[in-house]
Amino acid sequence: MVQHITLTRPDDWHLHLRDGAMLKGVLPETARHFARALIMPNLVPPVVTSADAAAYRDRILRALPEGSTFAPLMTLYLTEGTDPQDVAAAHASGLVKAVKLYPAGATTNSHAGVRNLDSVRAVLEKMAEIGLPLCTHGEVTTAEVDIFDREAVFIDTVLDPLRRSLPELRIVMEHITTEQGVDYAREGGENLAATITTHHLIINRNHILAGGIKPHYYCLPVAKREKHRLALRAAATSGLPMYFLGTDSAPHVDALKEQACGCAGCFTATNTMALLAHVFEEEGKLSNLETFTSLNGPAFYCLPLNEARITLVKHELAQTFPEKILTEAGPVTVFNPGFPVHWHVDA
């Protein structure tokens, strides 16, 4: 029996598009299925000012395939030199939908990030005043903290104190990977939300490390043990309003993933919607897929729902996805879930 599901066209609330040849190569993969995406600002150099964001948005629009109506939603990269007035102007003009906090050293191109939250206090207060969300890469970077504990320690030592001192600040816990993240977001009230990636619903740390190291499963925050993956699945498929999709699809050319010190990032733009249909069906929650991919995000960001729709079809035969996207920057491996997927976005 052929099964169909039609959804409000989804949005991706956490996406890396890069720039130049990579942007050109990966953008169609997202624009094919998604109406909008929140574009991460960790370019080299980062997207810090409203002028940087306007110029980057123009480059994205120019790289779109002919006829595409995909809309990039821009973010600013928070630095210790960020000007609160520039942030306010970027928000007032509608250009920028969030500001991204990268603790310095936490991940790819985060060295210009924040070392001391006190030094960005004026920016955070301005954001709280105008209702502009802060998106957090929620990991501490202290060498003494085990990499598998960095998210939980961030919640206790950075996020919770910040929320207590500035409760009006709207915050998105990006790409949560732990039971602690799931629990904290659930109890946080209307000013707190969390994005969940596709790959963290599928892999745990064994997938990265057992039976040989799999560089294409390495991302940050790194996938945790199985109980955390199960907590993420329960949260994503719950239909609760604080959880929504942010794929964190993060392309790196194969040469930079498959080396002695490989980059962090899973590239899931190509098959994300099919994989999510598989996961939600497995959980018996296909009816909540639209809530997660298309309804909760716009509600948190106070944006209208998309009018267009997409249809996913479950085929008799397992569907094939390209193993790699061939960009002019080099080949980028598409996330391989390691099981057959029968779902496909058909229209």
Which among Zn ion, ligand DOR, none contacts residue 108 (Cβ within 5 to 8 A by kind)?
ligand DOR
Which among ligand DOR, Zn ion, none contacts residue 219 (Cβ within 5 to 8 A by kind)?
ligand DOR
Residue 12 catalytic? no
Return the H-helix or E-strand segment holding 186: helix 179-186
Tokens of 185: 């977001």
Choose between 86 and 248: whose C-beta lies nearer to Zn ion: 248
Residue nearest to ligand DOR (CB): 219
Residues belonging to the chain: 347
Which among ligand DOR, Zn ion, none contacts residue 107 (Cβ within 5 to 8 A by kind)?
ligand DOR
Q: Which of 12, 29, 86, 248 binds Zn ion (CB under 5 A)?
A: 248
Give the shortest CB-94-to-ligand DOR separation in angstroms. Answer: 25
The tally of CA atoms less than 13 A away on the side-chain side of residue 74 is 26
What is the distance, to the nearest Å, from the Cα of residue 121 to the centroid of all Cα atoms in its chain? Answer: 25
**Residue ranges binding ligand DOR (CB under 6 A):** 16, 42, 107-108, 137, 219-220, 248, 250, 264-265
Specify the stretch interacting with Zn ion by CB under 5 A; choose among 160-168, 236-244, 246-254, 273-281.
Answer: 246-254
Gap between the terminal Cα atoms of the chain: 19
Report the DSSP pairing between strands 71-77 and 96-101. Answer: parallel
Separation between Cα atoms, residue 243 and residue 195, nearest integer Å: 6
Separation between Cα atoms, residue 113 and residue 247, nearest integer Å: 21
Choose between 99 and 313: whose C-beta lies nearer to ligand DOR: 99
12 is a contact residue toward Zn ion (CB under 5 A): no
Choose between 122 and 264: whose C-beta lies nearer to ligand DOR: 264
Give the shortest CB-182-to-ligand DOR separation in angstroms. Answer: 18
Return the H-helix or E-strand segment holding 344: strand 343-345
Separation between Cα atoms, residue 205 and residue 218, nearest integer Å: 9
**Other Cβ atoms within 10 Å of 164 Cβ, number:** 8
| Helix, strand, or coil (residue 345) | strand
Choose between 239 and 262: whose C-beta lies nearer to ligand DOR: 262
Give the shortest CB-316-to-ligand DOR separation in angstroms. Answer: 35
Give the shortest CB-287-to-Zn ion separation in angstroms. Answer: 29
Which residues participate in catalysis according to the annotation? 248
**Which residues are near Zn ion by CB under 5 A?**
248
